[in-house]
Structure 1
Amino acid sequence: MGTVVPTRQVTGEVLVRNFDKTTDVEKVLALEQTCEAGDNANDMTLLQDLLGDPLSRVRHYPSYSMMVAEVDQEIVGVVRAGIKTVVCGKSGAKSVQSGSRSRTHLQDVPIYAKAAYLLGLRVSPAHRRMGIGLKLAMKMEEWCKEQGVEYMYFATTKDNAPSLNLFTDRLQYTPFRYPALLGHPIWHHSVRLPSHIEVTKLSVEAAVAMYRSVMNTEEFFPEDIDKILNHKLCAGTWVATLREDRHSGLCCGGSCRVSENMGTIESSFARSDDGRPMPKSWAVLSLWKCNEIFSFQVKGVPLYKRTGALISRCLDKALPWCNIPSFPNVFNPFGLQFLFGLHAEGPKGPELFRSLCRHAHNVSRKDGCQVLLTEVGATDPLRQSIPHWEKFSFADDVWCVKNLVKLADNGGDSDRSRKVGAELDRSSFDWCRVQCPPASTMFVDPRDV
């Protein structure tokens, strides 16, 4: 049986205030250690260690805040939020010119919105069911409104009834998207890539140009993608092509090609500057080093299961050529890395993407990580191409969203202007009401992990 923590009687007033890094660090870290994510049926729990930095999960956003709840001078709750500008939809295609040959083509125009991701809401087990989580979330909403945020969203799981009840019933959030977290163990042995596939690491400049060309209208695509790819936590961006296509416009002699016009590189994907065609099939992904921000530890696992996992690792280490799928050591603190910016095109795209995942496994293995994680939309075509183990995956994620902008009574027209590309659109667009189309993709920002 799991430990039952008795609820305390609150005698003082609940005070919600900004986090003070000079006095609150140790108190918040201690609180985090009391909050476990677990499986009540199996008494297994997942502990997160923020590596001594309570702000580690939000300090990489353009703007962020962290608040604590205090009762009788004791910190009993905490919440964080990061603000960014993301794509929330797209308008009709319009004609644009691109490339040195000034060709005209049709291009969808992204609709941007200022959004805040709410994360790390924690309340001490002894102080739950007292409305402290509600007070923290409401106070953070007030701060986000002051910053001009239009939408707030958060992620939870379908079976997390207390979280869903708080946000959907009390705070009027709307269940919005249902992505899946897919995890894969990192084995002791490295995995081989097919000899007919070539993997090339892109320069940051080339990666930014590529993503802005092929993913800039996907939901949640961040306007500051250049900051993400330039960040010290980004291990890199890789593209996979067939070796028979390596003399095409994307990769040449181990270096990556982009068009002269970095603002619009559509011509790079249609034809390189010297007239050579692009590969018919290719795939791309990037890797984020979450292991430098936090670590996890699984506790409460029976001894016989831990022993079986240890045996598998010993066999994998002794016989690396056998490619034994060993169970990683997640029973001690372990790190993980996150795949983002997932995209593939062409008939061989899924195969190339699987090879990229194998390459990412080897990169993370060298960094000493134990798990490789990614998150994709429920209808993302690449979902079936991502190697994963069910034991390391959560297919029941729920993203909920709330419109913080006051809507007029005339059918939901917003009283704020929303940026659409370089123009302004004053239509009645409301992201909360947009249904997820079939075979749709979404960009999962690694800062949201």
Structure 2
Amino acid sequence: MADEGVMAVVMIREYDAKTDRERVEQVESSCEVGPNGELSLYTDLLGDPICRVRNSPAYLMLVAEMVVNGTLEIVGMIRGCIKTVTCGTKYSRPKSGDPPKPLPVFTKLAYILGLRVSPFHRRMGIGLKLVKRMEEWFGDNGAEYSYIATDDANVASVGLFTGKCGYSKFRSPSVLVHPVFAHRLPISNRVTILKLTPFDAESIYRHRFSTTEFFPRDIDSVLNNHLNLGTFMAVPRGYIWGGADKFLSGPPDNWAIMSVWNCKDVFKLEVKGASKLRKGFAKTTRILDRVFPFLRLPSLPKIFSPFGLHMLYGLGGSGSLYTKFAKDLFGLAHNIAKECKCGVVATEVSSEDPLKLAIPHWKVLSFTDLWCIKRLGEDYSDGSVGDWRKSQPGLSIFVDPREF
């Protein structure tokens, strides 16, 4: 352990996949992340640690080095990416007799994720140095805001960003997590579920959700990414699909849409700290579910060893039965995850979104996220017009799966 009485020299530089990968994985494996330290990122399986941000338009990974016992060691790292998203809504000037049309207001937004500092080198200012250097890169590349997502119970992380880095608490969405059972979930016969082409999916998302907070302007890149497993729409049984244009000109009374992102090929998770009794109980539920699938017993997958995740995003729709249709889409997503041998499916919704109550999830696995935001460059702390930090949360948010 480093001597805290000695001022250590910390060097920050860009990550080099050829020389740093193994040492970065060692630091990450020593750090617990997630809600209450129980849901931990497992990184020693899937290749380059920078892959979690590589799908973003602009990205960077930095490492912190210092001399420990005469050897130069990596003691921390941070990832960051930049994209353009919706931060508000304005209205066009209508022609005579036409209603105003809502239009998205875009901003260049930076996102910090994967901040890690070795447990043996904390409280030495290393995390702060990494954040400051990353923010310099954000500013050099034109980002107007920076934000992070953390667990509200993570006192150290919240204190670093809100206390030392100038971030303020912004949004508190809910991460809804559901285990993948050994049996399939039923889907109601009231709906037909369609798999949309990326082109049709993009058209619908841009038309219906482009003014939703955090909607990525490059949604086409997300939908055409190899990690996107498809976009699905639930419509009333008997509805005849004629393409996105026909749908948008006259949608059915009830419909719901959802896309599925394959996080399994990017990272894996592992629940740590469980007793032998709890592990034994979980194994028993799997055995019973596998032997008696017709009983549809709730079972806990192998989450005490590395497991994969599918992320559901773009959840939305319309109509009085919208949440019921969304639940059917969730059933489809669960069944896709079962075929792909994933451990859980997850989605993230606004705290005000009715989907928070409609989407099946296990409370023991789910948690409340905390998003903190900072204005880069000129400070508009007086709350003047155009300061996103002062805006009120909307009914929903558009979660970018590349950042999960």
TM-score (norm 1): 0.85
> Number of residue pairs matched?
398
Query: Does the CA contact (< 8 Å) of 1:93 and 1:106 recur in 2?
Result: yes
The 1:150–1:16 alpha-carbon spacing in structure 2 relative to 1, beyond 3 Å, is same
Q: How far apart in 2 are the matches of 1:377 and 1:412?
A: 23
1:407-422 superposed matches below 5 A: 407=379
| Equivalent in the alignment of 2:389 | 432
Amino acid across the alignment from 1:443: F
Q: How far apart in 1 are the matches of 2:392 and 2:313?
A: 23
Which residue, out of 269, 279, 282, partners 2:248?
269
> Is 2:107 the partner of 1:128?
no
1:29 is displaced (CA, Å) by: 1.1
| Equivalent in the alignment of 1:154 | 148
1:11 is displaced (CA, Å) by: 5.7
Deviations 1:322-352 (A, max 9, x none): 1111111101110010000010210111111
Deviations 1:108-146 (A, max 9, x none): 011000001100000000000011000000010011100
1:225 is displaced (CA, Å) by: 0.1
Q: How far apart in 2 are the matches of 1:331 and 1:286?
A: 27
Amino acid across the alignment from 1:59: R
| Equivalent in the alignment of 1:264 | none
1:412 is displaced (CA, Å) by: 6.2
The 1:94–1:446 alpha-carbon spacing in structure 2 relative to 1, beyond 3 Å, is farther
Query: Does the CA contact (< 8 Å) of 1:8 and 1:126 recur in 2?
Result: no
- Over the matched positions of the two proteins, sequence identity in percent amounts to 40
1:258 is displaced (CA, Å) by: 1.9
| Equivalent in the alignment of 1:346 | 319
Deviations 1:288-311 (A, max 9, x none): 000000011122211111111111
1:229 is displaced (CA, Å) by: 0.2
Query: Does the CA contact (< 8 Å) of 1:45 and 1:300 recur in 2?
Result: no
1:35-434 superposed matches below 5 A: 35-37=31-33, 44=38, 46-49=40-43, 51-72=46-67, 73-95=72-94, 106-244=100-238, 246-247=239-240, 251-252=241-242, 257-259=243-245, 268-271=247-250, 278-395=251-368, 397-407=369-379, 428-434=385-391
Q: How far apart in 2 are the matches of 1:304 and 1:7?
A: 38
Q: How far apart in 2 are the matches of 1:140 and 1:408?
A: 21
The 1:94–1:340 alpha-carbon spacing in structure 2 relative to 1, beyond 3 Å, is farther
Q: How far apart in 2 are the matches of 1:94 and 1:29?
A: 54
Q: Secondary structure at the match of 2:113?
A: strand
Query: Does the CA contact (< 8 Å) of 1:8 and 1:127 recur in 2?
Result: no
Amino acid across the alignment from 1:84: K
1:17 is displaced (CA, Å) by: 1.0
Which residue, out of 13, 17, 33, partners 1:17?
13
1:18 is displaced (CA, Å) by: 1.1
Structure with bigger helix share is 2
Query: Does the CA contact (< 8 Å) of 2:231 and 2:257 recur in 1?
Result: yes
| Equivalent in the alignment of 1:441 | 396
The unaligned stretches of length 5 or more in structure 2 are none
1:171 is displaced (CA, Å) by: 0.8
Q: How far apart in 1 are the matches of 2:40 and 2:329?
A: 28
Which residue, out of 25, 30, 42, partners 1:29?
25
User: Which 4+ stretches in 1 moved above 3 angstroms?
Assistant: 6-12, 93-97, 103-106
| Range with greater deviation from structure 2 (31-40 or 11-20) | 31-40
Query: Does the CA contact (< 8 Å) of 1:197 and 1:240 recur in 2?
Result: yes
Q: How far apart in 2 are the matches of 1:104 and 1:412?
A: 32
Amino acid across the alignment from 1:284: I
TM-score (norm 2): 0.94
